[in-house]
Amino acid sequence: MRIFRAAILVWLTLFASGAHSASKTILVLGDSLSAEYGMARGTGWVSLLEKRLKAENIDAVVINASISGETSSGGKSRLGALLEKQRPAVVVIELGGNDGLRGLSIRASEENFRSMINAAKKSRAKVLLVGMQIPPNYGRDYTDRFSALYPKLAKETRSALAPFLLAGVADRPELLQPDRIHPNAQAHPIMLDNVWPYLKPLLIK
């Protein structure tokens, strides 16, 4: 009887361990658009993502490593340590907006993104690249090359792509904060809807 009980305890321990390890970690590496800039905590699209996961019974944990003002260079420098610590199953890269607004080199941004994607894949994480666009006043050539960077990288690296985080938001002043740059709380459910169709398949495969 004691041997039987011991066997049951071992089985339960292994089962619990397996259930825990089945939980996937989603690492969001972003800028102010994902860091709830100017908003109450818990109202941004990343926080809403946690609620969406629970509602759809998807066993996943979200780590929001977003920092306001972050560039692709900053994300590149931080990602290695985050991958080692969090061991994510999926890495969501929401960066580049600050690169564009500062007029940084497209080539340099591309190299940074490629480095981040390669690092994530090397750690066996799936990658979701979140596309961004910048206002046309930066010049047609620059804005076109900037927008084209995301689908180009997604295709070349075989990564998933959410085409534009601010689709349905950027052209609606009522969904922006007074600075006319950052979305307000009403915009973030739309932003989540722009990401979710491309993120969900990475979690259920």
- DSSP for residue 158: T
Catalytic residue among 20, 21, 141, 179: 179
Segment 150-175 shows an average pLDDT of: 98
- DSSP for residue 176: B
In the chain the domains, ranked by start, together with CATH numbers, are 23-204 (3.40.50.1110)
Mark whether 123 is an active-site residue: no
Which residues on neighbouring strands pair with residue 26, listed in sequence order?
A: 62, 90
Segment 189-204 shows an average pLDDT of: 97
| Res 20: pLDDT | 39
| Res 173: pLDDT | 97
Q: Please count the other Cβ atoms lying within 10 Å of the Cβ belonging to residue 128.
A: 23
Catalytic residue among 68, 115, 182, 193: 182
pTM equals 0.89
pLDDT digit string, tens, across residues 60-79 = 999 999 999 999 999 999 99
Mark whether 77 is an active-site residue: no
Mark whether 188 is an active-site residue: no
Among 18-22, 51-55, 114-118, which is the least confidently predicted range? 18-22
Helix (H) or strand (E) holding 112: helix 106-122
- Residue 138's pLDDT band (cuts 50, 70, 90): confident
Q: Which residue has the higher pLDDT, 133 or 4?
A: 133
Angle at alpha carbon of residue 33, lines to 28 and 35, rounded to 5°: 60
Percent pLDDT > 90 in the chain is 85
Catalytic residue among 31, 32, 147, 188: 32
- Residue 22's pLDDT band (cuts 50, 70, 90): low
Q: Which residue has the higher pLDDT, 3 or 28?
A: 28
Q: Dihedral of CA 130/147/36/56: which sign?
A: negative
DSSP one-letter string for 6-63: HHHHHHHHHHHHHHHHH-EEEEEEE-TTTTTTTS-TT-SHHHHHHHHHHHTT--EEEE
Percent pLDDT > 70 in the chain is 89
| Res 156: pLDDT | 98
Segment 191-201 shows an average pLDDT of: 98
